[in-house]
Amino acid sequence: MDIIRTPADMQSRARAMRAEGKRIGFVPTMGYLHEGHLSLVRIAQEHADVVVVSIFVNPTQFAPGEDLDKYPRDFERDEQACRDAGADIIFYPSVDDIYAKDQSVYVEEEKLSCGLCGASRPGHFRGVTTIVAKLFNLVLPDVAVFGEKDAQQLRVIRRMVRDLDFPVKILSGPTVREPDGLAMSSRNAYLSCEERQQALCLRKALDCAETLYAEGEREPETVRKAMLEVINEASLARVDYVEIVDDETMKPAETLRRPTLVALAVFLGKTRLIDNTVLG
């Protein structure tokens, strides 16, 4: 496995691999890898000859006061995880190599990114689309794999690829969970023991939504209120949002009679966790 640190070297290697007829699979990450990330590497391996994993904590997707400085980092641990998973290349650039000091061009999606995390984290998705576009131009992937836990991000990236004609096929990997149901996340490392236990309210709320849907409930607000009741039973939980939106338009759903994304963001202490499910 090779480690490439500069954008110029990454793009040069990618061009050489494509000239050799190799298909490139790409998994963009912010590091502190867990089984959820590694499952995406395995999906990429099924669709490509070479798999590149990027590790880059992207400052432009963090708002002032968020956890950029304390975001967990452990490159040696990540390197070993990539080796064990069979990745071929780690792309590990510095912030100064990725962003010019006077950078003034950004990529912005204006519909799917407006609600949910986009509403509570202004500027977040502009940072996401910009860094993914830049990484696509450096890694030159044929396929890129994103996790379904970040549901809104996945849909925004698919729209960006469609609207800007990136020659990249976007694949998704299912949310990977701990044995007790908590979605794996690098930010889980922030949780205290009590916060970790109460964090299960996210999965319980989604289970509640799925049960009500299976029983025939089709009114979004009825489902939403039931989910809030479940979350409010956790004394340390503070709701950022619980939303039920059309899975295609990302606008508030008027009924559950078509595919619907149920998404939530909840603070446990200072740690913000997200999760989701799709009904129908």
CB neighbours of residue 243 within 10 Å: 22
Concerning whether 34 is annotated as a catalytic residue, the answer is no
Among 236, 242, 234, CA closest to 271? 236
Contact 36, 151 (CB under 8 A): no
Token pair, residue 49, equals 């000859």
Q: How far apart are CA 261 and CA 280, in angstroms?
A: 9
Half-sphere exposure of 38 (CA within 13 A, CB side): 16
Among 198, 209, 216, CA closest to 257? 216
Q: Which of these is catalytic: 34, 37, 47, 124?
A: 37
Q: What string of DSSP letters covers 145-189?
A: EEETTSHHHHHHHHHHHHHHT-S-EEEEEPPPB-TTSPBP-GGGG
Contact 26, 144 (CB under 8 A): yes
Contact 136, 168 (CB under 8 A): yes
Catalytic sites, residue numbers? 37
